Amino acid sequence: MSSVLVADLRAKAPVWRLSDEGARRLVAAAPEGWSVRIVEAPTISDGDGGTPPSDDAMKAVADAEAYVGFGMSRDLFLAAPRLRWIHSAAAGVGGLLFPELRSSGVIVTNSAGVHAEPIAEHVLGGILHFVRAHDVASELQRRHEWAREPFVGAHSPVRELSEYRALILGAGGIGRAIARKLAALGVACVGVRRRPELGTPAGFTRVVGADAWEALVPESDLLVISAPATPATHRLVTAPVLDRLPHGAIVVNVARGSLLDEAALAERIAGGAIRGAVLDVFEREPLPAESPLWELPSVLLTPHVSAVSPHRFWERELSLVIDNWRRLASGAGLRNVVDVGQGY
């Protein structure tokens, strides 16, 4: 009897849906002694695994040793007593960290590096939107108003990107990709990570620990949030942190909404202390209609789509899954292993 890998990746959203070609690639890549079981029922690609599973998925995992999906719910995990490995096509794994998983010894891997490039490009585009005052241009265009004064006057918000200093909260795969792109355009980037002794990745001028980053806030014109959502990072960026940013700073959040005090941010943008915000994630999703963020012209918001890359995602994702699958079959160490105790 062969070992079974279940692929639960037929997402309702077309850009996240495993294609027939991708399914054939998985089947063809099966290591000796393994078979693939494709769940055809539609699944949800949003979030990180907390959504209810399909009946087909519940049946498919009964004897599975490996599961690949968009996270994994507790009910689905409990229906799979033979599991050895779970891979999430999402970067976040918060929905997976239920007690039974934490105590099980099952290996969990995620897709953080897979999403790094499109998210970094999303961040770069959003920052340039404010650096070059495209928000001002869009508003003038909407009003059919030819006005040069906002750009050439004494209070012009236009700057060059190389004038900025960035503090990037989270120096993992996504934070590193952001730093590389910003540094290539002249931005001095400081990273924050739990273990700064691991070194300074390319793109950063230096990396500091969780006990040192707040002292750097007053000299950071760009505050980029790209850290995982854990109890330790909940409300990491508070009103007092925002108040210590330089006047005209730009705030970016591509992590999770729980890391940022949205109400405090909205107040400071409305008051003019913060130049703008690039927000792809929110405390509540969908963002409630009554949120003041909708009405602020200096907020560029997107509905949790910064990782979208229709043509490159599956190329990277399947390469990672297949490599890890072969490693599992041969007894080698896996890539992108999640520390379930730390939550990332």
Tell me the pLDDT of the chain averaged across its residues: 96
pLDDT in the model for residue 166: 98
Q: Which residues of 48-70 are buried (b: 16+ CB within 10 A; e: fewer)?
A: bbebebbebbbebbeebbbbbbb
Give residue-wise pLDDT tens across range 56-74. Answer: 999 999 999 999 999 999 9
Q: Is the pTM of this model over 0.85?
A: yes
The pLDDT-based confidence of 15 (bands split at 50, 70, 90) is very high
Long-range contacts of 205-212 (CB under 8 A, 24+ apart): 207/171
274 and 268 in contact (C-beta within 8 Å)? Answer: yes
Question: Measuring CA to CA, which residue among 341, 338, 342 is closest to residue 112?
Answer: 338
Can you say whether the dihedral through the CA atoms of 153, 155, 157, 161 is positive or negative?
Answer: positive
- What percent of the chain has pLDDT above 70? 100
pLDDT in the model for residue 8: 98
Output phi, psi for 342, to 5 deg.
Answer: -85, -25
Give residue-wise pLDDT tens across range 33-46. Answer: 999 999 999 999 98
Question: Cα 189–313–230 angle (5° rounding)?
Answer: 55
Provide the pairing of β-strand 222-225 with 249-253: parallel
How far, in Å, CA of 196 to CA of 67, rounded?
33
pLDDT in the model for residue 164: 98
pLDDT in the model for residue 344: 87
Peptide bond just before 286 cis, omega within 30 deg: yes
Q: Mean pLDDT throughout 128-149?
A: 98
Q: Name, in order, each residue with C-beta under 8 angstroms of 306's C-beta and a sequence gap of 6 or more.
A: 118, 119, 122, 123, 254, 280
pLDDT in the model for residue 48: 76
pLDDT in the model for residue 51: 84
pLDDT over 80 (residue 1): no
3-state secondary structure of 308: coil
How far, in Å, CA of 253 to CA of 279, rounded?
5
Q: Mean pLDDT throughout 200-219?
A: 97
Query: What tokens were used for 296?
Result: 């602020």
Q: Report DSSP state, residue 4.
A: E
How far, in Å, CA of 293 to CA of 283, rounded?
12
Q: Which residue has the tokens 């290591």?
A: 31
pLDDT in the model for residue 91: 84
| Burial of 33: CB neighbours in 10 Å, binned 0-12, 13-18, 19+ | exposed
pLDDT in the model for residue 42: 97
pLDDT in the model for residue 306: 97
pLDDT in the model for residue 94: 86
64 and 39 in contact (C-beta within 8 Å)? Answer: no
